[in-house]
Amino acid sequence: DDPDNYIGFNKKLVKVNDKLDLYAKNLNIIRKLQNDLIFEVDDGKRHEANTKLNEIISFNDNLENQLKLNIKELRDLSVGDFIKVNQTENIKSKFMDLINKYRKNEMSYSEKVKDDISKQYKIIKPDATQQEIYNYVNNADVQEQGQQQVFKDFLINSTRKEESKNISRNVESRHEEIIKIEKKMNELTKLFSEMENLIVEQDDLINEIDNNVEKAQLNIGGANRDLEKAVTHGRKSRKWKRWCIFILVIVILLII
């Protein structure tokens, strides 16, 4: 094997590992900023946290695309080399674990956002049933239709107009956040599936090698059986020759 080939491959591995570490670090930052958005009541600080969150999510989106291409490249370079295949598998497993972590974080954040919307809805409509709140939070059509009428009535009847407007803006912002979360979760599910398919392709290679090994073992087994037959035949042939010589000696002795 060409040492330079392994050196180049390992350099690519190091770069991909560095990107994965950065991706993991960003996931922790995303989670912290999301928690800040849930509990922060100051509009200015919320806006600042939301801006940072969008920036780092966008950065991680770009990293995901890079990592996907990098891992595909490593897969192509590792074909036929078990050492490289194992190294690539480890990289892919690490990436898939992070994708799963991201999905769980988004799912948890989605539940927190929905819980916050439920509380806000309860403020503007104290007599709302649990089913009504659930439908409002989880159904986009109900959200769009219900928000307009419910908040319109709330603004008309409320004596605290500014607070009413703040609640309305907050709920609208939460709805937009849920849409983004669902979009991101779908993207992560698709990405995870792509990585799974890459593993299947590598498995096909390994299975092909295993089949070749099995065929070789069968051929060796067949050769051994042929050899055993030849040995047995040789033994019988030698035994027959010995009997012929013995009979010939007896005949000569009788003649003498």
| DSSP class per residue in the chain | --HHHHHHHHHHHHHHHHHHHHHHHHHHHHHHHHHHHHH---HHHHHHHHHHHHHHHHHHHHHHHHHHHHHHHHHHHHTT-HHHHHHHHHHHHHHHHHHHHHHHHHHHHHHHHHHHHHHHHHHH-TT--HHHHHHHHH-HHHHHHHHHHHHHHHHHH-S-HHHHHHHHHHHHHHHHHHHHHHHHHHHHHHHHHHHHHHHHHHHHHHHHHHHHHHHHHHHHHHHHHHHHHHHHHHHHHHHHHHHHHHHHHHHHHHH-
Which of these ranges, 49-53, 127-131, 149-153, 174-178, has the smallest mean pLDDT?
Answer: 149-153
Whether the per-residue pLDDT at 82 is higher than 60: the answer is: yes
Whether the per-residue pLDDT at 112 is higher than 70: the answer is: yes
Which of these ranges, 36-50, 58-72, 163-177, has the smallest mean pLDDT?
Answer: 163-177
Q: Would you list the domain boundaries of the chain?
A: 3-184
Give the mean pLDDT of 163-172. 72
CA distance 67 to 119: 39
| pLDDT value at residue 176 | 84
User: CATH top-level class for 3-184?
Assistant: mainly alpha
| pLDDT value at residue 60 | 97
Q: Does the predicted TM-score (pTM) go above 0.85?
A: no
| pLDDT value at residue 108 | 95
Whether the per-residue pLDDT at 227 is higher than 60: the answer is: no
Whether the per-residue pLDDT at 250 is higher than 70: the answer is: no
| pLDDT value at residue 200 | 42
Average confidence score pLDDT of the chain: 80
| pLDDT value at residue 135 | 80
Give the mean pLDDT of 247-252. 63
| pLDDT value at residue 10 | 93
Whether the per-residue pLDDT at 184 is higher than 90: the answer is: yes
Whether the per-residue pLDDT at 168 is higher than 60: the answer is: yes
Whether the per-residue pLDDT at 86 is higher than 60: the answer is: yes
Which of these ranges, 22-26, 64-68, 76-80, 141-145, has the smallest mean pLDDT?
Answer: 141-145
